[in-house]
Amino acid sequence: MPQERIDSLRLPKAVQGPVNDLVRALSAASTREDVEREGEMEIAFILGLETTKRLRAADIETLYMIFDDAVQARLSHLAEQS
């Protein structure tokens, strides 16, 4: 789900790899604490991209939204399993 949205951004390869790693780590998170930690790591990564101006502002904003949606979906999924 977030992967299709990320792929549509056509990120540079140097950015795509770490983003894919973040998506995989979020998908593997099995506790609320793990999900929240992954969410913080994602925000820090995107902030780094933003401050170094490696991506267009629109792509940065889209990444923030994609990861926020993914974190919320993962938290909901974990809550349903409890």
pLDDT in tens, the chain (82 residues): 688 899 999 899 999 999 999 999 999 999 999 999 999 999 999 999 999 998 999 999 999 999 999 999 999 999 999 8
CA-based nearest residue to 67, from 13, 10, 33, 37: 37
What's the pTM value of the predicted model, to 2 decimals? 0.89
CA 17 vs. chain centroid, Å, equals: 12
- As a whole number of angstroms, the distance between CA 35 and CA 54 comes to 26
Structure confidence at residue 82 (pLDDT):
80
CA-based nearest residue to 9, from 57, 43, 76, 74: 57
Residue pair 2/70 in contact by the 8 Å Cβ criterion: yes
End-to-end CA distance of the chain: 22
